[in-house]
Chains A and B, each alone.
Chain A
Amino acid sequence: MNRRSEDRRSYPMSSIAPAEIVSSKAILSGPIESGDLPHWFREQQRAAWEKFESIPRPTRKDQAWRFSNVDLLDLVPFKFTPELSDDDRRNVLQYSHGLDEFSGRMIFAGDQLVERNIVSEELKKRGVIFQPLERAMVEHTDLFRKYFMSTEASLGSAKFAALHQALVSSGTFLFVPRGVEIEAPIEIFHWLRGENVSVFPHLLLVADELAKVTVVEHFRSCDQRAPGFACGVNDLIAGPGAKVTYVCAQNWGNNVVALQMNTTAVDHGASAMSLNLNLGSRYSRFESLSRLVGEGARSDLLAVAVAMNEQEFDARTLQDHISPQTASDLLYKNALDDRARCTFGGLIRVEPHAHFTDAYQKVRNLLLSDDSEANSMPGLEILADNVRCTHGATSGQINEDEMFYLHSRGIPTKVAQGLIVTGFLNEVIQRLDQPSIADYLRGLIDRKFGRSR
């Protein structure tokens, strides 16, 4: 866990208090009636709650949940986070260290805004909007309503997307106007604080024409052993020619059940790159829907998982090629130890008329123990003819020759194993082409393997 007791940098405290006061009632008792959110938004939440209740719980027989341990999705124990004390806030702040350099950041604990480090005056002047959700929906209602949860969750978690919409109370809204390039990344922290509490992290990122931005989200727990529930949504919209990079460092505590639903829409000439690093939680499901809506759009989907003990990571993806001349490239790598399980269900879909599609999908599992299990379901649905689509899935173990070589150099087994695994995962992280973020992610992986750098 990332608990460095090093320099406590001080950031200017935001003057904005949490928009609502939540009680610690059970999440299954429904949305909290808060007077602070606009009427239309609360209407939407009520409708979403009805939808949540009307959709049956997933079973393993559902194709979208094949191989998933659906029994873990029992939401009865989970509550809303009670209002944080000043001590809580100080504590959270103290440990919210991520990248060395950032353009702006928000820190949430239990969906309550702890700190907002706004973007520079200059970016503000150029029209960058970086606001908590509840403020954006009031101040930029039209823009917000146009994009907020506008794409149906189609990869199996419609029920949980509805739950998220019904119960979301805060989050981040980021709008980057036409032609604005934000150099250093924007950072967002979400903390689980307390026993059996839940969070509903939300990120809505809209990059207008030719804009450029990188966002890094950190998911963490204050107490590594506390059970908890996270149900997040992030929607990324890359306008024409925009360049959006999204990195998620998932490091929830070991008893957390987490769901994360992503949609990415890439317009013509735009490119989106996402990288999900999965280290924490007991069970974590990540759904990623990448829609290539404009000609010449490109989407890179990257993920790295290190699964140990009884951890289960469950990734479902769709690379949906809607327009011609689009490209997508998926690379997921999992290292599995102990009794861990990883499931990958991915589909490349080429819609009719999406000719000259170039799509690639590759999943690689490295099994480090006899009890680990990897399930791969790479899929293709091709409805256009002038395409190049390939996928590959491999599962194997550490090459004995490589181990022998390292042994012969005097490197003990455990260290040698670690080196090989790091090298295996590094291929994905390097694709980011952002050395400072890559270094940070590698540090997290090393810590999980118990090595400090």
Chain B
Amino acid sequence: MKTENKAVDIDRNRGDFAYPEVHIRDAGRGLSEKTIHYISDVKEDPDWVREFRLRGLKTFLEKPLPTHWASKDLEAIDFDKIRYYLAPGSGAKRSWEEVPEDIKRTFERLGIPEQERKFLAGVEAQFDSEAVYSNIKKAVGEQGVIFVGSTEGLKNHPEIFRKWFGKVIPIGDNKFSALNSAVFSGGSFIYIPPGVKVKHPLQAYFRINAESFGQFERTLIIADEGSEVTYMEGCTAPKFETVALHSAVVELVALKGAKLQYITVQNWSSNVFNLVTKRGLAHENAEIKWIDCNIGSRLTMKYPGVVLKGRKARGEVLSIALAGNGQHQDTGAKMIHAADETTSNIISKSISIGTGRATYRGLVHVPKHLKHCKNNTECDALLINSTSRTDTYPAITVRGTGNSVQHEASVSQVSAEQIFYMQQRGLSEAQAMSLSVNGFVNDLVRQFPMEYSVELKRLIELEMEGSVG
């Protein structure tokens, strides 16, 4: 392996290993009220959480699969075969020494402890349903930053947790947010006190180890007035023949003047359905930025959104999707303008290779009586092979005279002239192709933190090998 900084592992094969299961807590297969009570009992949930879960289950069962607009592939998920809760039994440890040997080895192979030492302000590592490790640097903790698992958050910090939990994304937002509300476990709870600027990123790493497993982490990040934080998540799973499900809910709250950046590098194995609901609430002058890279999974459906609630709030989604053979990256963004002078920016780039399919779905909503709202949307798609596919489905609503919205999308293929030119300079066709694709995403990748851009570029080089001809 190379020696450069790896914030999150995004090499396809590196995550493809599994250790024997060592779970003490197991809710079994299938989903019923019994499952909910089992999870609530094990986690010693307060009553309001148990009720919240039961309402989630009811909503989940009532709502149909959204196949009237989404991929029919969703029907391949057999909700009766999925295992909804698996945990090694004890809570999250504060040092790696206390983490059980197999699990520790997993994360060591993924390079997490090493990265923590190098440049992270805090790390949480989730193994199947529960966090096994959670720690922040002492200096950061002393500033009053809270970085714990969601279970710990709701128990130890109920006064902040309950105020915002489920407020940005209600139970009934969609079928999968309801499912998450029913069986959520793990994920992070983060609180940044007013004025605190966390210099280094906080990171969570999500690992699925068991077969036919469903991971339902729930993350809530609250950046109080004038604070700043960057959160990164990475994820991998071993490749099994059976379907695995990852259905997270992530809620962000940026209070007045806060800046929140959320970075995802999604590299699930090709048996994982990744159906995630992510939304942020930006108050006055606050900024929420989603950086979203989707490389893995069988089907990803993810449309990070920002509700621009306060004057001069800003929202941004930068998204890169790479759809390889058999993959469908159905991604996009939502921007709900709800105050004057709010601005939003969406830039999406997708690359479809082989039989891969990349879809962009967008929603931009500017209601009436708002003044000086602006949105800019750009989506560009690159098609590599004749079997590749790309779709764009934006929906834009604008009312009133004070606002302006523009949307642009283009689809193209790698220019034959460019390839010819590079070959004529002595590059192989594969090298030329790789260079050309890197050029396509370069202006976007440049805006990413350094560690990511290097990794992404390398990954694209890997992916492009053998895709020509």
A residues near B (Cβ < 8 Å) are 61-63, 66-67, 352-353, 355, 365, 367-398
Known: A371-B399, A374-B398, A387-B411. A379 touches B405 (CB 8 A): no
Residue pair B383, A385 in contact (C-beta under 8 Å): yes
- Bound CA span A6–B390, Å: 56
Taking CB atoms, residues of chain A closer than 8 Å to B396 are 374-377, 393, 395
Taking CB atoms, residues of chain A closer than 8 Å to B409 are 378, 380, 390-392
Give the shortest distance, in Å, between B403 (CB) and chain A (any CB): 7
Taking CB atoms, residues of chain A closer than 8 Å to B398 are 365, 367, 373-375, 395
13 contacting pairs across A/B (C-beta < 8 A): A63-B69, A369-B401, A370-B402, A373-B398, A379-B394, A380-B392, A382-B411, A383-B389, A384-B383, A393-B394, A394-B404, A395-B366, A396-B406
Chain A: CB-nearest residue to B398: A395
B residues near A (Cβ < 8 Å) are 68-69, 366, 368-369, 381, 383-413
Contact of A387 among B393, B403, B405, B412 (CB under 8 A): B412
4 closest Cβ pairs, A-B complex: A395-B398, A380-B392, A396-B404, A385-B383
Contact of B410 among A352, A374, A381, A390 (CB under 8 A): A390
For the residues of B in contact with A, the DSSP-based class is strand
Known: A67-B397, A372-B399, A397-B402. A380 touches B408 (CB 8 A): no
Residue pair B406, A393 in contact (C-beta under 8 Å): yes
Give the shortest distance, in Å, between A24 (CB) and chain B (any CB): 39
Known: A353-B386, A395-B366. 16 other contacts (CB 8 A): A352-B387, A367-B401, A370-B368, A370-B399, A374-B398, A374-B399, A381-B392, A383-B389, A384-B386, A385-B388, A387-B413, A388-B411, A390-B409, A390-B411, A391-B409, A395-B405
Taking CB atoms, residues of chain A closer than 8 Å to B392 are 378-381, 391
Chain B: CB-nearest residue to A384: B386
Taking CB atoms, residues of chain A closer than 8 Å to B395 are 66-67, 375-377
From B368, B384, B394, B398, name the one whose CB has the most chain A CB atoms within 10 angstroms: B398
Residue pair B394, A377 in contact (C-beta under 8 Å): yes
Give the shortest distance, in Å, between B329 (CB) and chain A (any CB): 14
- Bound CA span A369–B383, Å: 41
Residue pair A393, B393 in contact (C-beta under 8 Å): no
Chain A: CB-nearest residue to B365: A375
Give the shortest distance, in Å, between A357 (CB) and chain B (any CB): 9
Residue pair B408, A391 in contact (C-beta under 8 Å): yes
Residue pair A380, B391 in contact (C-beta under 8 Å): yes
Residue pair A385, B400 in contact (C-beta under 8 Å): no
- Bound CA span A393–B393, Å: 12
- Bound CA span A371–B392, Å: 28
Residue pair A379, B401 in contact (C-beta under 8 Å): no
Chain A: CB-nearest residue to B385: A385
Known: A379-B391, A380-B411, A382-B389. A373 touches B406 (CB 8 A): no
Residue pair B411, A397 in contact (C-beta under 8 Å): no
Taking CB atoms, residues of chain A closer than 8 Å to B390 are 380-382
Taking CB atoms, residues of chain B closer than 8 Å to A390 are 408-411
Residue pair B410, A389 in contact (C-beta under 8 Å): yes
Residue pair B401, A377 in contact (C-beta under 8 Å): no
Chain A: CB-nearest residue to B366: A395
Residue pair A379, B393 in contact (C-beta under 8 Å): yes
Taking CB atoms, residues of chain B closer than 8 Å to A389 are 410-412
Chain A: CB-nearest residue to B360: A380
Give the shortest distance, in Å, between A343 (CB) and chain B (any CB): 9
Taking CB atoms, residues of chain A closer than 8 Å to B400 are 367, 369-372
Known: A371-B368, A383-B389, A387-B413. A394 touches B394 (CB 8 A): no
Give the shortest distance, in Å, between A9 (CB) and chain B (any CB): 44
Taking CB atoms, residues of chain B closer than 8 Å to A394 are 404-407
Residue pair A395, B404 in contact (C-beta under 8 Å): yes
Residue pair A370, B408 in contact (C-beta under 8 Å): no
Chain A: CB-nearest residue to B384: A385
Residue pair B394, A63 in contact (C-beta under 8 Å): no
- Bound CA span A383–B405, Å: 28
- Bound CA span A398–B406, Å: 15
Taking CB atoms, residues of chain A closer than 8 Å to B368 are 370-371, 373
- Bound CA span A395–B68, Å: 28
Give the shortest distance, in Å, between B364 (CB) and chain A (any CB): 9
Chain A: CB-nearest residue to B390: A382
Give the shortest distance, in Å, between B74 (CB) and chain A (any CB): 16
Residue pair B369, A370 in contact (C-beta under 8 Å): yes
Taking CB atoms, residues of chain A closer than 8 Å to B68 are 61-63
Give the shortest distance, in Å, between A353 (CB) and chain B (any CB): 8
Chain A: CB-nearest residue to B69: A63
Residue pair B401, A397 in contact (C-beta under 8 Å): yes
Residue pair B369, A388 in contact (C-beta under 8 Å): no
Residue pair B412, A370 in contact (C-beta under 8 Å): no
Give the shortest distance, in Å, between B419 (CB) and chain A (any CB): 13
Taking CB atoms, residues of chain A closer than 8 Å to B394 are 376-379, 393
Give the shortest distance, in Å, between A117 (CB) and chain B (any CB): 45
Give the shortest distance, in Å, between A364 (CB) and chain B (any CB): 10
- Bound CA span A63–B69, Å: 7
Taking CB atoms, residues of chain B closer than 8 Å to A388 are 410-412
Taking CB atoms, residues of chain B closer than 8 Å to A365 are 398
- Bound CA span A368–B399, Å: 10
From A371, A382, A386, A394, name the one whose CB has the most chain B CB atoms within 10 angstroms: A382
Give the shortest distance, in Å, between B469 (CB) and chain A (any CB): 14
Chain A: CB-nearest residue to B411: A389
Known: A370-B368, A373-B399. A392 touches B408 (CB 8 A): yes
Chain A: CB-nearest residue to B358: A382
Give the shortest distance, in Å, between A63 (CB) and chain B (any CB): 5
Taking CB atoms, residues of chain B closer than 8 Å to A62 are 68
- Bound CA span A384–B383, Å: 8
- Bound CA span A397–B406, Å: 12
Chain B: CB-nearest residue to A370: B400
Give the shortest distance, in Å, between A251 (CB) and chain B (any CB): 26
Chain B: CB-nearest residue to A367: B401
Taking CB atoms, residues of chain A closer than 8 Å to B387 are 352, 385
Taking CB atoms, residues of chain A closer than 8 Å to B412 are 387-389
Chain B: CB-nearest residue to A388: B412
Taking CB atoms, residues of chain A closer than 8 Å to B404 are 394-397
